[in-house]
Structure 1
């Protein structure tokens, strides 16, 4: 780990702030290359080592050896000891000028052509399958965390950093959008890689609609909006040991997905339905989604 980011990287502009800190566009003083800097403060043990951070950074470094085209490149890591109990870790990523939200907003009416959406989805799933095959969950997929280069290349960003942020999250009130969270996360049940597939399904629908699919203002409201589309799941699918009872929700039947996303093709609707399956064990995987007939369409 390099010890001082300040000497090597000159901040140019603030890109955005989030629950986990501010992201800056910066210039590498040696190469002149633009990069993105993301800093987070982590608590350290009695020897001054942020162990979870070390583990996570080692994993991210290992992923870099594969140089996957659909995952943003981690270029450097800097650690600065602030106090005996706290270290500032700065992650240096390749810089991409726009995220998917900006890309969608810039598309002229009536929005992106179907073949462009298909290409973006295929790339997104390729990046996701790569992460999942290496046991990395994203946990916070949304249009702002998906970058699109000027050549239309998709790159997943902000992946695999949940453990780095875990200490920080206890110190700071975290408000992350509910709109892309899976039912098992909303119910505070156990979760795994299917959480990312649910989020991807929400993003897939948004590419056609040009607005989010489920816009709840609380966990319960978000679940109600989800059930209004996919229907209230049967009792046997409701996870055990969760605080919210199924009985508080009105029984509703599923609506055809094409009612909510009218521009989508029948094959696209079938894939979307498999992504927005309530039971995570029955939800399609990234690997199987890549083989779906939707990607042979047209």
Structure 2
């Protein structure tokens, strides 16, 4: 048996800032770490202050959560609309630092049409000692799958969306990566039905030799192996996709458990008790 996954894996809090440095250097575009202070400006939106490169104008918040805020903006350099994600206090503890590091690293490495692309990344701080804010620039999509599920989708569109989800996850798994947090809000869609998977803060290498934490995947999309605290691999992503597809057909959550025990109960009520071989 491998060791249990812990908060000291991947990157420690003391070294997290320096761990980002080579990733910034590997990006194709000039990063903010080499930009002058005059290249930035502050903008206050609602109760959020952002300090962004001047090339990004007309910011408006399109989403927010525990991990930070996401703004739509116009990139005047490329003349296109983009999404800018400001990670909320990414280095306040080791858990947040790990999520920020994973998301930035994987977005920088993975290249597939059904996985959100990293266009740029920057920080307004000038030294590693000051490094506290991280901004990630991504492609701007039109809606997330939560919104799309509420629409009256025909069989053709539904099949095409599922096909793209499977293509994206197949690419991740082929690269040895488990997403571990697939849910409708982490899947975004354009008006032409093109689809991309995002949010790699909980992603992990499939080859890591330890018992992975059960505190992954939003409850409704959590596989039995995760609920029971068993070891798991790429199959947890496939379960999550099955739950998402069932939700698209049904128009509502497939297994809406109120806690992890109720979640397990609802799964067993529909699918039956697992065989001894599973346990």
Q: Which residue of 2 aligns with 1:88?
A: 133
Output one character per residue of 1:189-243: Cα deviation in whole Å (capped at 9) or x when no partner: 33322111111000111111111100011111111111111111134422xxxxx
User: Does residue 1:106 correspond to 2:151, yes or no?
Assistant: yes
The alignment partner of 1:155 has SS state of strand
Distance 1:182 1:33, change over 3 A: same
Distance 1:16 1:51, change over 3 A: closer
- Name the TM-score, length of structure 1 as normaliser: 0.64
The alignment partner of 2:182 has SS state of coil
The alignment partner of 2:123 has SS state of strand
Return the alpha-carbon distance in structure 2 between the equivalents of residues 91 and 133 of structure 1.
25
Distance 1:148 1:26, change over 3 A: same
Distance 1:203 1:52, change over 3 A: closer
Aligned to 2:202, which of 133, 137, 162?
162
User: Does residue 1:6 correspond to 2:52, yes or no?
Assistant: yes
Contact 1:44 1:85 in 2 (8 A): no
Return the alpha-carbon distance in structure 1 between the equivalents of residues 155 and 92 of structure 2.
48
Name the structure with the higher strand share: 2
User: Does residue 1:182 correspond to 2:219, yes or no?
Assistant: no
User: Does residue 1:123 correspond to 2:164, yes or no?
Assistant: yes
| CA positional deviation for 1:73 | 1.4
Contact 1:104 1:207 in 2 (8 A): yes
Name the structure with the higher helix share: 1
| CA positional deviation for 1:136 | 2.1
Q: Which residue of 2 aligns with 1:42?
A: 90
Contact 1:100 1:148 in 2 (8 A): yes
| CA positional deviation for 1:97 | 1.0
Output one character per residue of 1:82-126: Cα deviation in whole Å (capped at 9) or x when no partner: 99486222111100011122122132xxxx222322221111100
The alignment partner of 1:162 has SS state of coil
Q: Which residue of 1 aligns with 2:177?
A: 136
CA RMSD of aligned residues (A): 3.0
Distance 1:186 1:127, change over 3 A: same
The alignment partner of 1:72 has SS state of coil
Return the alpha-carbon distance in structure 1 between the equivalents of residues 130 and 243 of structure 2.
39
User: Does residue 1:61 correspond to 2:104, yes or no?
Assistant: no
Q: Name stretches of at least 5 consecutive residues in structure 1 with no aligned partner.
A: 165-173, 239-298
Q: How many residues align?
A: 217
Q: Name stretches of at least 5 consecutive residues in structure 2 with no aligned partner.
A: 1-23, 25-30, 33-39, 41-50, 205-214
